[in-house]
Amino acid sequence: MEPSALIYFLVIPAAVSLINLLLPVRAAKALTVIALLYLLVRSIHSLSHLPLLSECGLWGADRLAAFVLLFVHILSLVILVFSLKGVRSEIQRAFFVLYPLTVAFCNGVLLSQHTIAFIIFWGLSGLSLYFFALMGQGDSYSQTAKKTFIIIGGSDVFLIFGFILLAARLPVKEWNLSALQMQSGDPLYYLAFFSLLIAVLAKAGGFPLHSWVPDFSKTSPIESTAFLPSSLDKLLGIFLLARMMTAFFAVELIVKMIIISIGAITVVGAVMMAIMQPNARRLLGYSTVSQVGYMLMGVGSGNPIAFAGGLFHMVNHTLYKSNLFLSLGSVEKQTGSSEFRDLGGIAKGMPLTFLMALIGSLAISGIPPFSGFYSKWMIYQGLLEQTKTLPAGYQIWMLICLLLAIFGSALTLACFVKFLHAVFLGRNPGREKIHEAPANQWLATGIFALFCIVFGLFAAALPLKRLIIPVLAELGIAADLSLIGYYDPLLLTGLFAIVFLIGWVVYRATRVVRYDEIYLGGMAAETRFRVSGVDFYREIRQMPLLQTIYTAAEKKYCDIYELGSKGTFFFSGILQKLHPGLLQWYLFYILLGLLLLLLITINIGG
């Protein structure tokens, strides 16, 4: 593959998007599928021709970029397959114009070697998020769009600021991304690092810039939710963090610890919110945030195993979370609701969707042998190993973070028990018969589910060996990974299979099953006595300390957007009081200004 061919990754999807403006929707869908399929093949192909750098020096790909690029195309293609049927008709055209365009923007971010080009594509990918949010439904979609774009677009200016600070440090005026470097001890080190970190947290959805994710998940078209916040934005955010940690900065220990702590807080805080949500989309949204915490911890720690685990978890998360969002999308399109109180007992009508969602849930909850377990396990291992090298105080700090993360993992399981129960199991709220989702939908979720299994069973042989370890080697982190402890997913699956087999034999041999009517306190359990998933964990909500925390969280004390807007309007109010519309005040300002100018110029200039 010629390096100049990299430009196809931008030009083709952008051109498809333009053509889709004119084509009938059906043709637009077909064209997009063909284009994305072609690009997927190309991105696989590009893996064996690395590193690539175009002659003009504007575009290039190393292993990290090519690795992320591959998953951008896998995800966009599969989510596109899901979207072929079921996108609301009034937004269909806009959707299929924006979709390939977004892919082009993300590819632009990954392949840009020029700082300004990177900034522009990063900003454009945020803009497409805003337009997807404007395609939403419900009362609050425009509020969501506003909030989303204030956080995302607002963080972009910090990205610009951080990058320019970095670039200003170069001895010659140069904008090549690979040349950017800042040593610790530079007076602008922290300013530059945390400016970029703001952009990472906003894009990937880490605390405290996470609050747009659950809102976006609630109101936007569900395909776009699977597409952006749970997939592409994660990839881009963590991609930038990986670059920061390995190339742009010589990262100090304290900075690493801060990122790990942000990660741990994100894991626990978000999952605590997730388990209380009465709406399935918001639950998934919060859980998306929570998972970012692991990636931050892994990639931010700088330990090779944890770094690899972080990248692996990023990929795994995009796969199973897209699976879950899309499965929920199938359910929603069949039932018309994503509120837990309206759902339940759908597994019988939609067995395939249930199976896919089950696999996704097991993967995200970190149940071996699925993919989520493997990557989390790597992150924990890496962090533990890191702890050994730390000074005593830091060791305790790190262990607390680690404990929080493990606790978060348990809560994730709890969260998805609720999800599965409330959506698929439990009792039907008296609904008519439900049909299985169309084939394109379960095919899409099926592919993702397959990935969850394959990446769990063959983690070491496939994704790690083929994709991630070469990335680490190229970045100079580690040539190979030697994992501590012994975990063989195949053996474990074999053992699981044997246990199931024994159980099944016992069941077949004895088979004493009695089916009965359900009674509640001696009365026939009518539909109105049905227990929906809404109050699944109400007891936790009412525990003494937690109650205060939850009340505070519901009042949005943890939402930086709300706090920021309160502060802004407070300050704005003060300034407005100084502008009462009275001419004499204004004349006073002018004269005062003139006097000050005269005083300053005469005193300092003279």
Partner 1 sequence: MILPYFVILPLLAAFLITLLAGKKDDWAITLAFMALISLLVLSIFGFVTMHEETVVYSMSGWDAPIGICLVQDALSLFMLVMINLIALTSLCFSIQYIRHLSQDWKYYALFMLLIAGMNGVVVTGDLFNLYVFMEIALISAFALVAYGCRAEEYEASFKYAVMGGLSSSIILIGIAFTYSATSSLTLARIAEVLPTVDPRLVLWIGALFLAGFGLKAASMPFHAWLPDAHSSAPAPISSMLSGVLIKALGVYVLFRLFFNVFGAPAIFMQLLLVLGALSIVLGVFLAIGQWDLKRLLAYHSISQIGYILLGMGLATPLGILGAVFHLLNHALFKSLLFYNAGAVEMVLGTRNLRKMGKLAKLLPVTSGTSMVASLSISGIPPFNGFFSKLIIIIAAIQAGHPIFAFWAVLGSLLTLASFMKVQRYGFYGEIEHKTPIMMPGNLVRFAMLTLAVLCVLSSLMVLPGIRELTLDPVVDVILNKTGYIRMVCGRAL
Per CB under 8 A, residues contacting partner 1 are: 116, 119-120, 123-124, 127, 134, 139, 141-143, 145-146, 149-150, 153-154, 156-158, 160-161, 164-165, 168, 173, 188, 191, 565, 568-569, 571-573, 575-576, 579, 581, 583, 585-587, 589-590, 592-594, 597-598, 600-602, 604-606
Distance CA 155, CA 233 (A): 13
φ, ψ at 434 (rounded to 5°):
-105, 140
Residue with tokens 């990262």: 251
Residue 438 DSSP one-character state = P
Tokens for 445, please give them.
Answer: 């979720």
* Contacts of residue 544, Cβ cutoff 8 Å, sequence gap at least 6: none
Q: Is 295 within 8 Å of 266 (Cβ atoms)?
A: no
Shortest CB 149 distance to partner 1, Å: 6
- CB closer to partner 1 out of 197 and 299: 197
- CB closer to partner 1 out of 10 and 378: 10
Residue 556, CA distances (Å) to 36, 170, 401, 546 in order:
40, 42, 24, 15
Shortest CB 127 distance to partner 1, Å: 6
φ, ψ at 191 (rounded to 5°):
-60, -45
Residue 565, CA distances (Å) to 199, 313, 561 in order:
19, 34, 6
Residue 247's DSSP bridge partners are none
Distance CA 99, CA 35 (A): 12
- CB closer to partner 1 out of 134 and 546: 134
Shortest CB 93 distance to partner 1, Å: 14
Determine if the peptide bond prior to 544 is cis (ω within 30°): no
Q: Of 274, 441, 488, 432, whose CA–CA distance to 364 is shortest?
A: 274
- CB closer to partner 1 out of 3 and 123: 123
Neighbours of 140 (CB within 10 A): 14
- CB closer to partner 1 out of 219 and 330: 219
- CB closer to partner 1 out of 527 and 576: 576
Shortest CB 173 distance to partner 1, Å: 8
Pairing of strands 523-524, 519-520: antiparallel
- CB closer to partner 1 out of 547 and 568: 568
Shortest CB 572 distance to partner 1, Å: 3
Distance CA 259, CA 254 (A): 9
- CB closer to partner 1 out of 164 and 553: 164
Q: Is 364 within 8 Å of 356 (Cβ atoms)?
A: no
Residue 209 DSSP one-character state = S
Q: Is 134 within 8 Å of 141 (Cβ atoms)?
A: yes
- CB closer to partner 1 out of 542 and 572: 572
Shortest CB 600 distance to partner 1, Å: 7
Q: Of 431, 281, 278, 411, whose CA–CA distance to 344 is shortest?
A: 431
Shortest CB 161 distance to partner 1, Å: 5
Determine if the peptide bond prior to 51 is cis (ω within 30°): yes
Q: Of 323, 316, 145, whose CA–CA distance to 238 is shortest?
A: 316
Torsion of CA 371, 376, 381, 386, to 10 degrees: 140
Shortest CB 253 distance to partner 1, Å: 25
- CB closer to partner 1 out of 141 and 325: 141
Shortest CB 245 distance to partner 1, Å: 23
- CB closer to partner 1 out of 224 and 301: 224
* Contacts of residue 200, Cβ cutoff 8 Å, sequence gap at least 6: 206, 237, 238, 240, 241, 244
Shortest CB 187 distance to partner 1, Å: 9
276, containing H or E segment: helix 253-276
Determine if the peptide bond prior to 429 is cis (ω within 30°): no
- CB closer to partner 1 out of 548 and 601: 601
Distance CA 23, CA 43 (A): 26
Residue 112 DSSP one-character state = B
- CB closer to partner 1 out of 392 and 582: 582
Shortest CB 338 distance to partner 1, Å: 21
Shortest CB 160 distance to partner 1, Å: 6
Q: Of 38, 40, 18, whose CA–CA distance to 28 is shortest?
A: 18
Shortest CB 200 distance to partner 1, Å: 17
Shortest CB 218 distance to partner 1, Å: 16
- CB closer to partner 1 out of 155 and 386: 155
